[in-house]
């Protein structure tokens, strides 16, 4: 496979388009729900595959559509293969807890479960990539599942020890492992992003987040003082709760409540600034031979996407999930560009075998998110 640095013609920009129809997405979604009820959930593997085939096939690059070649049968048998693995990990803990219900030592048997999430994540990602192709040339992901799991857990530990200060380095290291092991045909991807380029944005938003959390703590103190004063007044003057509230008024309580609630709204919003910078770093420094990538995402656009998605989910009581998925994939297409001349690159089909482990552990653990 080719992996060396090559000249990228940044003057040639190719836009990714998404022409999926919300009506068709809802049609597939509703059919999946109905069939899952009839088959007691067994159809979910085929339903999920059908949704992926439609959504992936709705992406177009340079007049050519992407394709998803995975099957429901692969997902189903992957799920069956993962069940014994899950039981082998969980049974020792169950047996030890049954033998000595009040002991703490059985918790030792849960340590292997720390590996479940990163292993399931990488396996699922590798399967989905290997079943995606463009111009009949498939993508792929090599690398070791256990190496990624070790890296994931190590960076997770570093994040805890550093109190979150080194999060950008962890984000970049994990992404680098995936990107540097990905390929398209006989061309390897490479990633040249750096964690230190994100530190200024991270520390600024991190500090703002801490400031908002301090306000929340102050609000909790205000509320505690407010209720304490009401209690004392009620006892000293033999007043009812309503009478005591009339004496102190609602303004103090409203201010205290705002101090508690507002930070939990503002912290995620502020961190979207870092999220935007991370998307730019991951996209703008990713290359595949003579091809580069560019993100045009802005913090305001990302904020609008997230806030509207939350409102849709709340107002529709979850029935707007297909519409949220549609918004997300369209947003990705609108803000992602492929740079380079796609007509002159020579790509051959990859010679390696496609992975057959599907994403069974991902399914068993219930780690699926969204519709695809």
Task: Decide: 346 and 15 in contact? Cβ < 8 Å.
Answer: no
Enter the pTM of the model. Answer: 0.86
Task: Decide: 272 and 302 in contact? Cβ < 8 Å.
Answer: yes
Task: Tell me the DSSP string of 203-215.
Answer: HHHHHHHHHHHHH
C-alpha to C-alpha distance for 323 and 319, rounded to whole angstroms: 9
What is the mean pLDDT of the segment spanning 4-8? 55
Q: Is the pLDDT of residue 7 over 60?
A: no
CB burial of 231-254 (b: ≥16 within 10 Å; e: otherwise) equals: eebbeeeeeeeeebbeeeeeebbe
Q: Which of 107-111, 146-150, 253-257 is most confident?
A: 146-150
H-helix or E-strand containing 40?
none
Task: Decide: 357 and 122 in contact? Cβ < 8 Å.
Answer: no
Q: Is the pLDDT of residue 366 over 60?
A: no
pLDDT tens per residue across span 57-93: 999 999 999 999 999 999 999 999 988 988 888 888 8
Which residues, in sequence order, are bridge partners of residue 106?
Answer: none
Q: What is the pLDDT of residue 254?
A: 73
Task: Decide: 152 and 163 in contact? Cβ < 8 Å.
Answer: no
- Please, which pLDDT band fits residue 273 given cuts at 50, 70 and 90? very high
C-alpha to C-alpha distance for 166 and 339, rounded to whole angstroms: 31
Mean pLDDT, rounded, of the chain: 87
C-alpha to C-alpha distance for 320 and 33, rounded to whole angstroms: 14
The tokens of 233 are what? 């007044």
Count of other CB atoms within 10 angstroms of residue 109: 17
pLDDT tens per residue across span 339-354: 998 887 767 776 666 6
186 in helix, strand or coil? coil
Q: What is the pLDDT of residue 341?
A: 85
C-alpha to C-alpha distance for 35 and 179, rounded to whole angstroms: 37
Q: Is the pLDDT of residue 230 over 80?
A: no
CB burial of 57-73 (b: ≥16 within 10 Å; e: otherwise) equals: ebbbbeeeebbbbbebe
What is the mean pLDDT of the segment spanning 267-272? 94
14 in helix, strand or coil? strand
Q: Is the pLDDT of residue 244 over 70?
A: no
Q: What is the pLDDT of residue 306?
A: 96
Q: Is the pLDDT of residue 370 over 60?
A: no
H-helix or E-strand containing 66?
strand 64-68
Q: What is the DSSP letter of 353?
A: P
Cα 121 to chain center, whole Å? 10
Pick the range with the lowest mean pLDDT from 87-91, 197-201, 270-274.
87-91
pLDDT tens per residue across span 292-315: 999 999 999 999 999 999 999 999
12 in helix, strand or coil? coil
- Please, which pLDDT band fits residue 46 given cuts at 50, 70 and 90? very high
What is the mean pLDDT of the segment spanning 45-52? 96
More confident residue, 360 or 132: 132
Q: How, if at all, do strands 182-184 and 59-61 pair?
A: unpaired
Q: What is the pLDDT of residue 42?
A: 95
More confident residue, 128 or 257: 128
- Please, which pLDDT band fits residue 356 given cuts at 50, 70 and 90? low
Residues whose CB is less than 8 angstroms from the CB of residue 48 and which lie 6 or more positions away in sequence, other chains included: 32, 72, 75, 368, 371, 372
Sign of CA dihedral 267, 270, 274, 280: positive
- Please, which pLDDT band fits residue 235 given cuts at 50, 70 and 90? low
More confident residue, 165 or 256: 165
What is the mean pLDDT of the segment spanning 169-178? 98
H-helix or E-strand containing 314?
helix 299-315
Q: What is the pLDDT of residue 148?
A: 97
What is the mean pLDDT of the segment spanning 259-273? 88
* Burial environment of residue 167 by CB neighbours within 10 A (0 to 12, 13 to 18, 19 or more): buried
**Phi, psi dihedrals of residue 287, rounded to the nearest 5°:** -135, 155
What is the mean pLDDT of the segment spanning 203-207? 97
C-alpha to C-alpha distance for 208 and 266, rounded to whole angstroms: 9
The tokens of 344 are what? 């002159």
Residues whose CB is less than 8 angstroms from the CB of residue 266 and which lie 6 or more positions away in sequence, other chains included: 212
Q: What is the 3-state secondary structure (H, E, C) of 275-287?
A: HHHHHHHHHHCEE
Q: What is the pLDDT of residue 80?
A: 92
């Amino acid at each position: 496979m080719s992996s060396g640095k090559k000249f990228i013609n940044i003057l040639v920009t190719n836009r990714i388009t998404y022409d999926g129809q919300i009506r068709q997405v809802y049609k597939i979604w509703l059919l999946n729900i109905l069939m899952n009820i009839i088959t007691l959930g067994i159809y979910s593997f085929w339903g999920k595959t059908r949704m992926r085939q439609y959504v992936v096939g709705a992406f177009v690059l340079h007049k050519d559509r992407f394709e998803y070649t995975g099957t429901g049968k692969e997902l189903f048998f992957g799920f069956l293969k993962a069940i014994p693995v899950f039981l082998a990990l969980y049974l020792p803990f169950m047996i030890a807890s049954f033998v000595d219900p009040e002991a703490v030592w059985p918790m030792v048997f849960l340590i292997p479960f720390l590996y479940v999430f990163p292993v399931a994540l990488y396996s699922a990602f590798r399967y989905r990539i290997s079943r995606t192709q463009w111009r009949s040339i498939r993508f792929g992901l090599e690398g070791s599942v256990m190496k990624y799991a070790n890296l994931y857990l190590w960076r997770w530990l570093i994040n805890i020890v550093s109190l979150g200060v080194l999060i950008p380095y962890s984000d970049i290291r994990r992404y680098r492992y995936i990107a540097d092991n990905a390929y398209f045909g006989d061309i390897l991807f490479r990633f040249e992003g750096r964690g230190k380029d994100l530190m200024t944005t991270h520390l600024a938003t991190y500090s703002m987040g801490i400031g908002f959390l301090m306000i929340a703590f102050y609000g909790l103190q205000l509320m505690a003082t407010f209720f304490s004063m009401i209690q004392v007044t009620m006892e000293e003057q033999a007043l009812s709760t309503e009478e005591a509230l009339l004496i102190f008024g609602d303004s103090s309580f409203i201010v205290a409540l705002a101090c508690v609630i507002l930070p939990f709204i503002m912290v995620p919003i502020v961190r979207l600034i870092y999220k935007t910078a991370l998307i730019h770093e991951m996209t703008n420094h990713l290359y595949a031979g003579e091809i580069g990538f560019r993100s045009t995402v802005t913090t305001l656009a990302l904020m609008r996407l997230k806030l509207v998605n939350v409102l849709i989910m709340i107002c529709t009581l979850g029935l707007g999930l297909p519409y949220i998925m549609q918004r997300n994939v369209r947003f990705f297409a609108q803000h992602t560009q492929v740079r380079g001349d796609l007509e002159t690159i020579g790509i051959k089909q990859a010679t390696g075998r496609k992975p057959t482990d599907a994403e069974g552990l991902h399914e068993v653990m219930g780690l699926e998110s969204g519709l695809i």
